[in-house]
Amino acid sequence: MASTLAACGGGDSSGSGDVTLKLVAADYGDKPDNNSKKYWMKVIRAFESKNAGIKVDVTVLPWTEVDKRLAQMVREGQAPDLAQIGAYADYAAAGKLYSADQLLSIPTQSDFISSVSAAGDLHRVQYGLPFVSSTRLLFYNEDLFAKAGVTKAPESWADLQSAATKLKAAGVKIPFGLPFGPEEPQAETMMWMLSAGGGYTDRTGAYTIDSPENIKAFEWLRDELVGKGLTGPGDPARTNRQQVFDAFTRGEVGMLNGHPTLMRQADARDIKYKMAPLPGVDGKAEVTMGVADWMMGFKANGRREQIGRFLDFIYHKENVLDFTRRYDMLPVTTSASQAMRNDGDEKKLWPFLEQLQYAQFYPADKTSWARVTKTLKEKIGSTVKKGGDPASVLGELQREAEATDNADG
């Protein structure tokens, strides 16, 4: 792998006249036999068979390493031609990326789902190409609901608290799983902000972290869920998402917010569960959270035409569906989404797919977002502790976000 990375940014294959595109991609697999490299090698073989003169060399790295390694490669002048990771804004702002219209054919670009592709814009120009997406729903354990006498999924915060209270009385260990630990608290945070009618930013893209709606959400969590012992014996500030997912698959959690991967984990343990839209203040939340990962094309090696041909190929409907089916993710193109809606074997993903058109995404177009997320991971859990001060913590995050945003221009 070291030699492969060292070669990134090098010239064409010697002697043949071929162009060799370098691709760095994240690994979505959770065990060796479903490593993402298997997908990429299949796609690359098919592409190379139809595109004489273009080779593709892929390096697949774990999520814990891929961002850092890519940043190092770019910093050392060894940028790949393509990268598929979780963020694009820093590279776009630095002028290192091709825009979507420089790379993609019109049919490919117009096939993106608009709510997803809009999150790839920087200053109204699309640089981040959505690669895969997911949304969030409320999961609940049918057997535990029946045991507690809860007859339907909660639609409002009051319903959720009532159901959690009954689950606790029935002896359920964790009535509602609330993960604000360091793994991914920015996701749980955004879901509660949205369910309160707030969010990280407003329609103009300005940060609104300390809005009244957001403060209200964390005061309610502090007082009405955590404060009343409805989130189990653990400290939400030290509880990671995968910990509550694991507890759900052991039958210890009544409810939690989850993404499609939880279905596979729960099915493997024969947990009976259902899903519902996220509860909101007075009824079902109007929007849910969406997450997208991104593909980008680097200018460094000047291979715009070849990069574009490869991207047009990987965004073919069949290739998009192949990836999403492997990892229980959602497609980012209209053609693949429609095919998924028509496929009865994909029925479990339909509720997530329906939410995608209403989803809001992280402010991934902001170069400040990575630094805001780092501080949020350190501090957001304190808001729901006894004596926690959501207004103070969210205000601090807001000030840092604005200062970083202004410094970035």
pLDDT at 2 (0 to 100): 34
Q: How many CA atoms lie within 13 A of 237 on its CB side?
A: 13
State the Cα torsion 97-99-103-105 to the nearest 10°. 160
Q: List domains and CATH numbers for the chain.
A: 2-133+291-360 (3.40.190.10), 137-287+368-408 (3.40.190.10)
pLDDT at 282 over 60: yes
Of the two residues 407 and 180, the one the predictor is more confident about is: 180
Backbone angles phi, psi at 59, to 5 degrees: -120, 120
Place of tokens 């290739």: 319
Tell me the whole-structure pTM to 2 decimals.
Answer: 0.87
**In the chain, % of residues over pLDDT 70:** 96
Residue type at 325 in one-letter notation: R
- The token pair at 96 is 């290192």
* Closest to 351 (Cα-Cα) out of 135, 202, 159, 161: 135
Looking at the DSSP bridge assignments, the partners of residue 25 are 60, 84
Task: Please compute the mean of the pLDDT values over residues 304-315 and round it to a whole number.
Answer: 98
> Quick check: 103 and 307 in contact, CB under 8 A?
yes
Using pLDDT thresholds of 50, 70 and 90, give the confidence band for residue 26.
Answer: very high
* Strand ranges for 107-199 from DSSP E: 121-122, 125-126, 129-135, 137-141, 174-177
Average pLDDT, the chain: 93
End-to-end CA distance of the chain: 37
Using pLDDT thresholds of 50, 70 and 90, give the confidence band for residue 5.
Answer: very low
Using pLDDT thresholds of 50, 70 and 90, give the confidence band for residue 33.
Answer: confident
- Segments in 251-329 forming alpha helices (H): 261-268, 304-314, 317-327
pLDDT at 30 (0 to 100): 75
Q: Which of 73-82, 185-194, 350-359 has the lowest mean pLDDT?
A: 350-359
Q: Is 183 exposed, middle or buried (0-12, 13-18, 19+ CB in 10 A)?
A: middle
pLDDT at 3 (0 to 100): 31
Task: Give the tens place of pLDDT for each residue, 41-53.
Answer: 999 999 999 999 9
Using pLDDT thresholds of 50, 70 and 90, give the confidence band for residue 1.
Answer: very low
C-alpha distance from residue 89 to each of 27, 64, 129, 136 (Å): 21, 19, 11, 24
Residue type at 215 in one-letter notation: I
Using pLDDT thresholds of 50, 70 and 90, give the confidence band for residue 17.
Answer: low
Reported for 342-351, long-range contacts at CB under 8 A and 24+ positions apart, including other chains, are 348/260, 348/263, 349/260, 351/137, 351/275
Task: Give the tens place of pLDDT for each residue, 115-149.
Answer: 899 999 998 999 999 999 999 999 999 999 999 99
